[in-house]
Amino acid sequence: MTLDHIRLWLRERVAFYVERTPEEIDPDAKLVEVGLDSVFAMSLSGDIEDEFGLVVEPTVAWDHPTVNALADHLHAEVA
Amino acid sequence: MRDLELPPELTVEHCLELDAREEFPDALCDSLTDLGAERLYLPGVPAERLLAMIRDLAGRDFTVALAHCKTYLGSVATWVGGSPAQVAGLAAKVSGGAVVSLALTERDHGSDALAGDVTATPVPGGYRVDGEKWLINNATRADVVCVLARTGNKGDARGFSLFLVDKHSLPAGTYRCLPKVATHGVRGADISGIRFTGAVVPADAMIGEPGRGLEILLKGLQITRTLCGGMSLGMGEHALRTVLEFAENHRMYGRRLADLPLATRALADSYVDLLVAEAVTVVSTRSIHSLTGEQSLISAIVKYYVPTLIDRTIQRLAKVLGARALLMDGPFQKIWRDHAIVGVFDGNTWVNLSTLVNQFPALTRGYRDARVDQEGLAAATGLKQPLPPLDPGRLSLAARDGCSLVQSLAVSPDAPEELRDRADRLHRSMAEWRPRGREVPPELFGLARDYAQLYAAAACVRVWADNALDDVWLRACLARVFGRPDEATEHLLDLTRRGRPFSFLRGVTDHDT
């Protein structure tokens, strides 16, 4: 699993939830600023489990609050 | 089994006098402390025992219940997220009768905790707290206040921390309690506020790690929101008892009011509403111990469903009283006023429904895969089953595998066909909605209500199956959950009028003692 793949998937996921195109999501912007509600952001943990078979805390997006930060964290976890 | 006999001076009449004078029930709270009520607020106490006390107290007077039990709300964050030294320190204070309050809300922000303006700024030796918390139960009376304050950026879920502030250790002039506000119900309660101005607290006043405040708070609320069901139960039972007594004695059209078909139906429906509320509350309270990781969902369901149900019950009972509901100010009228706040505080109805909506993806996945924690579920619904002690480390802000109770409908041989059909249909509707990361569409709140209704029905089915309850109990409860008339309902009321106790489930558990 490459970092690029994770980042791409995550950016698409966030874009889907905030109803924008992936290109419109700044990977270094806070997810909250992109428009993702912080309570809803907890459901990303379910998507992550489905996609990568990786069990993470629901608060993972609170601790890694941008697409890039979260992708880095997941990449380290998968490796 | 009772942990606490209520003090003899805690009478409905006395509490009505205090309420009329908007007077805080000081002496009654002192009596409760003298009797040792606060030991039920300590960590390690089974949640069901605390629930029983809350229900008993609320069944006598809600102002007193709210005033005394608030110490648990103020303490729970420490039990959930504090260090062993913090837990021991606060436990010693609570055992000594200290009043602990939770200071969460602010004047301009209500339920929007992430918008909080109270700040805690690092200074040598600790933190300086500044700002105002408002509409805080027991803010003035409290010895210790658990304060949510911003230690990072506004709007950042990791930007807030919790502090245990001992008012006695603050220098004079660094805090001021705000006047008690006049309220619709619980008129004697100390609903006030507190303003901090450069109040320096030691570094070890922070509960848990910096930035963990919101997470710890939300985990603690999963317990207290569930226990709120006990408040509704106590008040609902008191209201029904009051109205039933009137209807048994008041004569109209040549017979007792209680025997007029429409009144009988209203009383019976109200009675069975209480049985449903009891099943939901008891199962959900036991779940704190055995389905701990699901409590984010379960607590939201209870906190929405039970107070909403009992609000309607009280409204219906008011119609049985007729003009008398509005003519005088007695126990029923106080309950009517007091109960209205339960659906608002500690996370209001909309907050709880949106918690459910946000977890729809996990719920539809959990139902599709029939994920059920069989052992945890059996312990929650088998009322005589032993429960493990609560492990706060298992509390989670989202239920990864959904809701075992509802998902068990997909695989349980006891589940009535009707319920499984409803569950299939509801989960299909939930899955059809495109999940959205902002601004939940109002239609989804309707599905969340249906989900809570399904949970209530499933709770009844499992409680019935696992505790060998009468078939008539289940029939009546399911009829009420889905709002259809059923003669089983009136049959149950008839048993009660002939002296059977109000609670069926207490009958089940009381055989032990």
Task: For residues B266 and B401, state if they share a domain.
Answer: yes
Residue B511 lies in a domain: no
pLDDT band per the 50, 70, 90 thresholds, residue B508: low
What's the CATH code of the domain at B185? 2.40.110.10
Residues of chain B found within 8 Å of residue A65, distances taken between Cβ atoms: 156, 158
pLDDT per position as a tens digit, B452-490: 999 999 999 999 999 999 899 999 999 999 998 888 888
Task: For residues B413 and B305, state if they share a domain.
Answer: yes
What does the CA dihedral B202, B205, B210, B216 come to, rounded to 10 degrees?
Answer: -170
Q: Nearest chain B Cα to A48, which residue? A: B400
Helix, strand, coil percentages (3-state) for chain B, rounded to 5, are 60, 10, 30
pLDDT of residue B506: 64
Contact state of B358 with A49 under an 8 Å Cβ cutoff: no
Highest mean pLDDT: which range of B345-354, B369-378, B413-422, B502-511: B369-378
pLDDT band per the 50, 70, 90 thresholds, residue B439: confident
Task: For residues B242 and B169, state if they share a domain.
Answer: no
Q: Nearest chain B Cα to A64, which residue? A: B158
Contact state of A45 with B400 under an 8 Å Cβ cutoff: yes
Both tokens of B203, joined, read: 């570094």
Task: For residues B86 and B155, state if they share a domain.
Answer: no
Q: Say yes or no to pLDDT of B273 above 80.
A: yes
pLDDT per position as a tens digit, B234-257: 999 999 999 999 999 999 999 999
Q: Say yes or no to pLDDT of B121 above 90.
A: yes
Among B20-34, B260-274, B482-496, the minimum mean pLDDT is found in: B482-496
pLDDT band per the 50, 70, 90 thresholds, residue B507: low
Among B202-206, B336-340, B471-475, the minimum mean pLDDT is found in: B471-475
**Which residue range(s) make up the domain with B194?**
100-209
Contact state of A18 with B398 under an 8 Å Cβ cutoff: no
pLDDT of residue B328: 84
Query: Choosing among B111, B156, B294, B400, which should be mutated to test the A contact, i.e. which has the most A CBs within 10 A?
Result: B400
Among B11-20, B181-190, B497-506, the minimum mean pLDDT is found in: B497-506
Contact residues, A window 37-76, toward B, CB-based 8 Å cutoff? 37-43, 45-47, 49-50, 55, 57-59, 62-63, 65
Nearest C-alpha neighbor of B110 from the set B302, B346, B338, B340:
B346
Task: For residues B323 and B443, state if they share a domain.
Answer: yes
More confident residue, B325 or B93: B93
Contact state of A19 with B435 under an 8 Å Cβ cutoff: no
Which DSSP symbol is given to B125? Answer: T
Contact residues, B window 297-356, toward A, CB-based 8 Å cutoff? 354-355
Residues of chain A found within 8 Å of residue B157, distances taken between Cβ atoms: 32, 38, 41, 59, 62
Q: Please state the rounded mean pLDDT for residues B338-349.
A: 91
Residue B172 lies in a domain: yes
Contact state of B397 with A59 under an 8 Å Cβ cutoff: yes
DSSP per-residue string spanning B177-212: EEPPPP-SS-TTS-EEEEEEEEEEEEGGGEESSTT-
Q: Which residue has the tokens 């069990």?
A: A55
Residues of chain A found within 8 Å of residue B355, distances taken between Cβ atoms: 39
Question: Roughly what angle, to the nearest 10 degrees, separates helices B471-481 and B261-290?
Answer: 100
| Residue B192 φ then ψ, to 5° | -140, -140
Residues 6+ apart with CB under 8 A from B500: none
Q: Nearest chain A Cα to B396, which residue? A: A58
Task: For residues B447 and B383, state if they share a domain.
Answer: yes
- What is the percent of chain B with per-residue pLDDT over 70, rounded to a whole number? 97
Task: For residues B66 and B158, state if they share a domain.
Answer: no
Task: For residues B37 and B68, state if they share a domain.
Answer: yes
pLDDT band per the 50, 70, 90 thresholds, residue B436: confident
State chain B's mean pLDDT as an integer.
93
pLDDT of residue B154: 87
Mark which of B209, B241, B262 sits at the end of a domain: B209
Q: Say yes or no to pLDDT of B504 above 70.
A: no
Residues of chain B found within 8 Å of residue A64, distances taken between Cβ atoms: none
Count CB pairs under 8 A between chains A and B.
68
What's the CATH code of the domain at B264? 1.20.140.10
Q: How far apart are CA B467 and CA B286, in angstroms?
A: 14
Task: For residues B88 and B139, state if they share a domain.
Answer: no
What's the CATH code of the domain at A25? 1.10.1200.10
Q: Which residues of B97-120 are buried (b: 16+ CB within 10 A; e: fewer)?
A: bbbbbbbbbbeeeeeebbebebbb
pLDDT per position as a tens digit, B451-460: 999 999 999 9
Tally the domains of chain A.
1
Q: Are B366 and B403 contacting, i.e. CB atoms less than 8 angstroms apart?
A: yes
Task: For residues B421 and B457, state if they share a domain.
Answer: yes
Residues of chain A found within 8 Å of residue B438, distances taken between Cβ atoms: 17-18, 35-37, 40
Q: In Å, how far are B31, B137, B306 from B235, measured between CA atoms?
A: 21, 19, 12
Mark which of B209, B243, B273 sits at the end of a domain: B209
Mark which of B209, B235, B266 sits at the end of a domain: B209
pLDDT band per the 50, 70, 90 thresholds, residue B501: low
pLDDT band per the 50, 70, 90 thresholds, residue B510: very low
Nearest C-alpha neighbor of B48 from the set B444, B438, B508:
B508
Tally the domains of chain B.
3
Residue B25 lies in a domain: yes
Residues of chain A found within 8 Å of residue B437, distances taken between Cβ atoms: 14, 17-18, 35-37, 40-41
Contact state of B362 with A46 under an 8 Å Cβ cutoff: yes
More confident residue, B290 or B154: B290
Q: 3-state DSSP call for residue B130?
A: strand
Q: How far apart are CA B478 and CA B489, in angstroms?
A: 10
pLDDT per position as a tens digit, B383-431: 999 999 999 999 999 999 999 999 999 888 778 999 999 999 999 999 9
Q: Please state the rounded mean pLDDT for residues A16-41.
A: 93
Question: For chain B, how many helices (H) and strands (E)?
Answer: 19, 10
Q: Nearest chain B Cα to A13, which residue? A: B437
Q: Say yes or no to pLDDT of B511 above 50.
A: no
Helix, strand, coil percentages (3-state) for chain A, rounded to 5, are 65, 5, 30
Query: Choosing among B154, B438, B439, which should be mutated to test the A contact, i.e. which has the most A CBs within 10 A?
Result: B438
Both tokens of B198, joined, read: 């450069």
Among B196-200, B211-215, B327-331, B451-455, the minimum mean pLDDT is found in: B327-331
Residues of chain A found within 8 Å of residue B397, distances taken between Cβ atoms: 42, 58-59
Task: For residues B205 and B229, state if they share a domain.
Answer: no
Q: 3-state DSSP call for residue B143?
A: coil
pLDDT band per the 50, 70, 90 thresholds, residue B327: confident
Contact state of B158 with A37 under an 8 Å Cβ cutoff: no
pLDDT per position as a tens digit, B22-44: 999 999 999 999 999 999 999 99
What does the CA dihedral B254, B255, B258, B264 come to, rounded to 10 degrees?
Answer: -80
pLDDT per position as a tens digit, B42-66: 999 999 999 999 999 999 999 999 9
Q: In Å, how far are B204, B254, B367, B383, B464 from B471, measured between CA atoms?
A: 55, 35, 27, 17, 8
Contact state of A40 with B358 under an 8 Å Cβ cutoff: yes
pLDDT band per the 50, 70, 90 thresholds, residue B512: very low
Task: For residues B362 and B228, state if they share a domain.
Answer: yes
Residues of chain A found within 8 Å of residue B155, distances taken between Cβ atoms: 32, 38
Both tokens of B472, joined, read: 């008539």
pLDDT of residue B236: 97
